[in-house]
């Protein structure tokens, strides 16, 4: 039987799981213990690798979408325009700007189908240089009420064809948002213009785009939001609150979590 004459120690310093600790593996004099310790060492390295792979980057941001919806005369046709600046990098610079027009048709009092275009400018790091993404989109929007119209719920489905910067391959993405708004007017007269709003939106890539974009098919991101709304008039509402944006890391990149304070200006004609 093979015997190790001198005990061997392997120490691992773990940095990425919230504390520093030394693990010591003693390779004893017989092969049986040596093999078991070797297996333990391999498992430990695997755990450390997973912890490193799941590192998360965080950023604090401010988003200010302006959403304008307007009917075209007495017809079922609608127009839409969204303008959205995003202040990123710990609220220090204009990192993203979006212009998103669209045209829709109300097929029922509750449902509207949409087609449109979007132009998104995204800054490359801290360089001051922006890449432009052109995007075609189609959508189905459903809005209804519950509890004697005290609760308003919406579902928005949108398909996007993304033409990314320096990329000839089209990236197809689906997104679904559920939104609920609870009106507070039943409690006190002065609460009539106020409401509580929550939403969640899931993004899924339909195809893998590895040509510079590094976007694999599957889950792309999630946005969870909670806030309050104030309606100045039937046509004008402001809502503000916290949005958590989670984007999983791709191809060795860390996950991204953006803590966003979002204020929407909603105008309806």
Q: What is the DSSP string of the chain?
A: --B-SS-EEEEEE--SSSS--EEEEEE-SBHHHHHHHHHHHHHHHHHHHHHHHT-EEEEEEEE--EEEEEE-TTSSEEEEEEEEEEEETTTTEEEEEEEEEEEEEESSSSEEEEEEEEEEEEE-TTSS-EEEEEEEEEEEEEEEEETTTTEEEEEEEEEEEEE-TT--S-EEEEEEEEEEEEE-TTT-GGGTTEEEEEEEEEEEESS-B-SSS-B-SEEEEEEEEEEEEEEEETTEEEEEEEEEEEE---TTPPEEEEEEEEEEEEEE-
36 and 100 belong to one structural domain: no
| 121/135 Cα distance (integer angstroms) | 11
Residue 183 lies in a domain: yes
Looking at the structure of the chain, the number of domains it has is 2
Same domain, 48 and 70: no
Are residues 143 and 45 part of one domain? no
Domain annotation covers residue 92:
yes
d(CA 36, CA 43): 11
Instruction: Indicate whether 258 and 143 sit together in one domain.
Output: yes
Mean pLDDT by 10 residues, the chain (269 residues): 39 40 42 50 48 75 98 96 97 96 97 98 83 96 92 97 89 97 93 97 92 82 98 96 94 89 97
pLDDT for 102? 98
Domain of 39, in residue numbers:
8-53
Residue 76 resides in a domain: yes
Same domain? 37 vs 70: no
Residues 77 and 209 in one domain: yes
- Do 161 and 243 sit in the same domain of this protein? yes
Task: Output the pLDDT for position 41.
Answer: 55
Q: Please tell me the predicted confidence (pLDDT) of residue 139.
A: 98
Q: What is the pTM of this model?
A: 0.79
What is the predicted pLDDT for the residue at 100? 98
- At 37 the pLDDT is 53
18/89 same-domain check: no
pLDDT at 23: 38
* pLDDT for the residue 215: 85
The answer on 64 and 42 residing in a single domain is no
Does 1 reside within a domain?
Answer: no
Whether residue 123 lies inside any domain: the answer is: yes
Same domain, 40 and 135: no
CA 19 vs CA 9, 23, 47: distances in Å: 21, 12, 14
pLDDT at 165 (0 to 100) = 86
**In this structure, what CATH number is given to the domain that contains residue 187?**
2.40.160.40
Same domain (yes/no): 162, 224: yes
User: Does the residue 36 lie in any domain?
Assistant: yes
Tokens of 60: 């604090």
Q: Is residue 3 part of a domain?
A: no
pLDDT of residue 90: 96
Same-domain check for residues 172 and 230: yes
Answer yes or no: is 75 within a domain. yes
């Amino acid at each position: 039987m093979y015997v190790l004459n001198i005990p061997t120690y392997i120490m691992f310093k773990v940095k990425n799981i919230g504390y520093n600790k030394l693990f010591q593996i003693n390779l004893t004099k017989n092969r049986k213990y040596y093999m078991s310790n070797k297996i333990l060492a391999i498992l430990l390295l695997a755990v450390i690798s997973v912890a490193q792979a799941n590192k998360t980057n965080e950023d604090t941001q401010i988003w200010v979408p302006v959403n304008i919806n307007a009917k075209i005369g007495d017809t079922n046709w609608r127009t839409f325009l969204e303008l959205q600046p995003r202040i990123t990098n710990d609220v220090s610079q204009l990192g993203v700007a979006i212009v998103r027009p669209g045209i829709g048709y109300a097929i029922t009092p509750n449902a509207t189908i949409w087609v449109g275009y979007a132009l998104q400018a995204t800054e490359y790091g801290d360089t001051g240089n922006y890449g432009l993404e052109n995007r075609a989109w189609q959508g189905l929007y459903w809005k209804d009420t519950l509890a004697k119209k005290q609760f308003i719920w919406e579902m928005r489905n949108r398909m996007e064809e993304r033409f990314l910067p320096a990329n000839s391959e089209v990236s197809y993405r689906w997104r679904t948002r559920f939104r609920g708004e609870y009106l507070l007017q039943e409690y006190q007269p002065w609460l009539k213009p106020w409401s509580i709003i929550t939403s969640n939106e899931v993004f899924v890539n339909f195809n893998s785009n590895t040509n510079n974009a590094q976007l694999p098919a599957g889950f792309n991101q999630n946005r969870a939001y909670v806030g309050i709304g104030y309606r100045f008039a039937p046509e004008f509402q402001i809502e503000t609150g916290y949005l958590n944006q989670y984007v999983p890391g791709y191809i060795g990149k860390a996950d991204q979590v953006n803590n966003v304070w979002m204020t929407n200006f909603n105008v309806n004609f």
